[in-house]
């Protein structure tokens, strides 16, 4: 099964504009949607953010990081860890269905985990 097959339910959620699979250094494995260069920029910025949040999580002994949601004025970004080294980024419009996208992202990450181990 391809990554795109795993992400069918994520991409079908209302408001989803782009998704990407990347490593913690910001190197993309694959992406769908978004304008040229936009996905690269978002992945690069959020990979740095994700490293910082994961570090704070470890220091506070909150357990392994699973998912981070950033709700901003115009968009919502959902970062879901596939493994400790890879994550799924889902970006949707503010009026999209963030709850469904969050759930679908968790399921997709779980299903893809074996491909990254």
Tens digit of each residue's pLDDT (9 = 90 or more) over 41-70: 999 999 999 999 989 998 999 988 899 999
Number of domains in the chain: 1
Using CA atoms, how far residue 43 sits from 31, 46, 58, in Å, is 10, 5, 22
Alpha-helical runs (H) found in the chain: 3-6, 8-11, 38-59, 98-116
For position 116, what pLDDT does the model report?
85
Nearest 5°: phi and psi at 89?
-105, 130
Contacts 24+ apart (CB under 8 A), 69-76: 69/98, 69/102, 70/46, 71/98, 75/17, 76/15, 76/101
Tens-place pLDDT, residues 69-103: 999 999 999 999 999 999 999 999 999 999 999 99
What is the residue range of 55's domain?
Answer: 3-116
The domain that holds 62 is classified in CATH as 3.30.450.30
Q: What is the pTM of this model?
A: 0.92
């Amino acid at each position: 099964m391809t990554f795109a097959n795993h992400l069918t339910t994520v991409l079908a959620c209302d408001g989803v504009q782009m998704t990407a699979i990347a490593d913690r250094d910001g190197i993309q494995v694959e992406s769908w949607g978004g304008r040229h260069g936009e996905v690269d920029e978002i992945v690069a910025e959020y990979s740095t953010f994700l490293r910082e949040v994961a570090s704070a999580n470890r220091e506070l002994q909150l357990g392994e990081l699973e998912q981070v949601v950033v709700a901003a004025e115009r968009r919502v970004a959902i970062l879901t860890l596939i493994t400790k080294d890879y994550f799924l980024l889902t970006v949707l419009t503010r009026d999209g269905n963030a709850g469904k996208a969050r759930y679908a992202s968790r399921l997709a990450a779980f299903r893809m985990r074996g491909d990254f181990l």
